[in-house]
Amino acid sequence: MKRYTGEGKKIDRSSVAVFRMILLVLIPIIVFSIAVVPSVLILALYYLYLMPFIPHLLVSLLLLPFFLVISFVILIISTAFFTGIFIRGFNIIYEHGSYSKSIKDKNTFKFTLYYILYRPTAKLLDIIFIPPIYARYLSLIGAKIGKHAFFGGRNTISDPCVTEIGSKTLIGGGATIMGHLGEQKLIIKKVTIGNHCLVGAESLIMPGVTMKDRSVLGGKSLVTKNTVLESHTMYGGVPAVEIKKNK
């Protein structure tokens, strides 16, 4: 058996890599800290200006949970707003293609920063899930969402900026739509879901998949990368195969 000598990938200590690593730490701290400010202000206003005028301690304790819930809801909204505005304003949008896994690659750096800002926000939005707000947030950070598209809860849209979902399409609860793969390189491919489509609950769609208009994917199915699901056709299984044609 060959003894492990610690050799392998070397840590990139170039000035560009180090600078971008610092940015990957500092930018999320700054953005998320700003997002917390409205919630902190609400609680501060309660303690400093409202609580002293409440005559009974019991009443102030009963009011406190309401302010905590309100501040938490505002935290969710402000986090979505500030992360979305930052991603949009500074164009932290990556494109489909094949890229080096090093953050010295511009698109890989954008992908990493985008993911750090987006994923915690998506988890927060999933706590109090309101489909129109979720769809609006996805649109803000680069997704193309058609009118009346509906999302069930617990969805994972891993790469909104390379995801397109048509009008009157239903994405079932727990469905996962992947736009990237980590192979020898970082592979990013657009996922296109047409109009009047149905993606079954807890199904998994891999990068490069195209669902044409009025196609149907059954629940708990797996669509492998670069697959095309034809119009007026139902698919299902692992991997997904054609089940029947729909009139």
Percent of the chain with pLDDT strictly greater than 90: 72
Do residues 113 and 19 share a domain? Answer: yes
Where residue 7 falls among pLDDT bands split at 50, 70, 90?
very low
> Is 2 contained in some domain?
no
Query: Rounded CA gap, 32 and 25, in Å?
Result: 11
The residue-averaged pLDDT of 135-150 equals 94
Question: Which pLDDT score is estimated for 11?
Answer: 65
Do residues 141 and 244 share a domain? Answer: yes
Which of the two residues, 6 and 83, has the higher pLDDT score?
83
Average pLDDT over the chain, rounded to whole? Answer: 90
pLDDT digits (tens, 9 = 90+) for 59-83: 777 888 898 999 999 999 999 999 9
* Residue where a domain terminates, one of 70, 100, 128: 128
The residue-averaged pLDDT of 170-194 equals 93
pLDDT digits (tens, 9 = 90+) for 15-54: 888 999 999 999 999 999 999 999 999 999 888 888 878 7
**How open is the CA angle 201-213-92, to the nearest 5 degrees?**
70
> Is 1 contained in some domain?
no
C-alpha closest to that of 200 among 180, 176, 181: 176
pLDDT digits (tens, 9 = 90+) for 102-126: 889 999 999 999 999 999 999 999 9
> Is 218 contained in some domain?
yes
With contact defined as beta carbons under 8 Å apart, do 235 and 222 qualify?
A: no
Q: How many CB atoms lie within 10 A of CB 237?
A: 14
Q: How many CA atoms lie within 13 A of 58 on its CB side?
A: 0
Q: What is the pTM of this model?
A: 0.87
Where residue 157 falls among pLDDT bands split at 50, 70, 90?
very high
> Is 7 contained in some domain?
no
Question: Which pLDDT score is estimated for 110?
Answer: 94
Question: Which pLDDT score is estimated for 60?
Answer: 78
Query: Rounded CA gap, 207 and 158, in Å?
Result: 10
Do residues 109 and 164 share a domain? Answer: no
Question: Which pLDDT score is estimated for 9?
Answer: 54
Query: Rounded CA gap, 4 and 12, in Å?
Result: 21
Q: How many CB atoms lie within 10 A of CB 192?
A: 17
Domain containing 58: what range?
A: 13-128
> Is 237 contained in some domain?
yes
Does the structure show a pLDDT above 90 at 146?
yes
Does the structure show a pLDDT above 50 at 1?
no
Q: How many domains does the chain have?
A: 2
Query: Rounded CA gap, 201 and 187, in Å?
Result: 25
Across the beta sheet with 97-99, what order do the strands follow? Answer: 97-99, 186-188, 180-182
C-alpha closest to that of 175 among 189, 165, 188, 190: 165
